[in-house]
Amino acid sequence: MQKKRLLITRRLPDEAEARARRDYDVVQNADDHQMTTDEIMEKAKDVDAIMITITDKMPKAAIDRIPEHIKILSTYSIGFDHIDLKAAAERGIKVGNAPHGVTLATAEIAILLLLGAARRAGEGERMLRSKSWPGWAPLQLVGQRLDGKRLGIFGFGKIGRALAKFARGFDMDIHYHDIMRAKPEDEQGATYHETLDGLLSVSQFFSINAPATEQTRYFFNKSAIEKMPHGAIVVNTARGDLVNDNDLIAALKTGRIGAAGLDVFNGEPKINEGYYDLPNTFLLPHLGSAAIEARNQMGFEALDNIDAGFAGKKMPFALN
C-alpha cells in the first residue's frame, strides 16, 4: 500500500524522524530553515498531512490557504497559540499537539533559571569569559539561597506541578494560583491562592507557567510588580508575551525586581534590547524542551495524532 505523504516543516531528532519515515513518505525541510507560509503551502499541495512547529504561524489567513484535501494538522509543541483553531475547525481540519514530552525538561529549566538568577550565574560566567575575574573575594557576586523562600507558581498544570516537586528538594515553600484549585494529591502541601494578586504578594520567587490567553497576555506588568515583595526574583518558561518587557526592565534597573531568569521572550529571536546590558538577568534561548528525551517524545506524540487522523480515530492529543 502506498504510504501517505507527510510534510514536516523542521528537522526532528533522529528517532522521531526514523519513525516518521517508517510510516510515511516524508517531505522534509532539508536545511532546517524557517519556512515561510508560502513555502509551506507550496509543499502542502502534494502531501496528505502537515506537522508544524511553534514558529510556524497559522492564523486564519494561513489556515484558509491549506489545500482542501488536507484535514490533519499536528503541531510539534505543547503550545497552540500559533494556530487559529476556530478557523481550522471551520475547514474541517483536525488539529493536535504534543503536550506531555516537555513537562520535566521545562521544569528543569525553570529550576536552572531560579538558581542562575538567585546565584548570579550569568554575571559570573560573563566575568570569566571576558577574562576579568580578579579572584575570590568575600563580597563578590553574593546572591541568595533558595531554601526557606516562598516560590509562587502561576499556572499549576503539569509543568507547574513538576517545578513544585523539584523546588521542594531545595526546601522552598510552594504557593500557587490557577483557575481551579488542584487536587490534594497534586498540591502536596502547596498553598493555594484564590487570586493572582494574593500569590504575587507573598512570592519572593515567582515562576510564570501559565498559557498565553487574552486574559494572561502582558499580565506581568508594573501593576503586578508593585504587588510583589521588594527584590523578588521572577522566572519565565511559558510564553514571552505574558510579560510587559519595558515594565520588567524598568523594575530590574531600580532593583524593585531583584533578578530575572528568562527562557522565552516576546518577539523572539529578536528580543527587547533592554535585556542585553542588565547584569541581573539570566537569559536562555528558549531551551525549555531542549532535552533529547523531550524532543523525541514530542515527535512521537505529534505523529500519534497523525496516525489516528489517518485511521479515522480521534487524535489522542486533539485540540479541536
Q: What is the pLDDT of residues 116-133, one digit of tens each?
A: 999 999 999 999 999 999
Residues 163 and 53 in one domain: no
Q: Is residue 315 part of a domain?
A: no
Euclidean distance between CA atoms 72 and 304, whole angstroms: 12
Amino acid present at 42? E
Residue 274: count of CB within 10 angstroms of its CB: 15
User: What confidence tens digit (pLDDT) does each residue in 211-234 have?
Assistant: 999 999 999 999 999 999 999 999
**Number of domains the chain is built from:** 2
124 shares its domain with 257: yes
In a domain, 111, yes or no: yes
pLDDT single digits (tens) 149-164: 999 999 999 999 999 9
Judgement on whether residues 92 and 154 belong to the same structural domain of the protein: no
**Residues 142, 178 within the same domain:** yes
Question: 128 and 272: one domain?
Answer: yes
Range of the domain at 39: 5-101+292-310
pTM of the full predicted structure?
Answer: 0.94
* Residue 317 placed within a domain: no
Q: Do 147 and 74 sit in the same domain of this protein?
A: no
Q: 86: domain CATH number?
A: 3.40.50.720
What per-residue confidence (pLDDT) applies to 69? 97
pLDDT band for position 1 (50/70/90)? Answer: confident
**What is the arrangement of strands in the sheet containing 49-53, beginning at the earlier edge strand?**
25-28, 5-8, 49-53, 72-76, 94-96
Backbone torsions φ then ψ of 129, nearest 5 degrees: -65, -30
Residues 131 and 270 in one domain: yes
Asked, for residue 144, whether it belongs to a domain, the answer is yes
- Which residues does the annotation mark as catalytic? 239, 268, 286
Tally of helices (H runs) and strands (E runs) in the chain: 12, 12
Q: Is 316 contained in some domain?
A: no
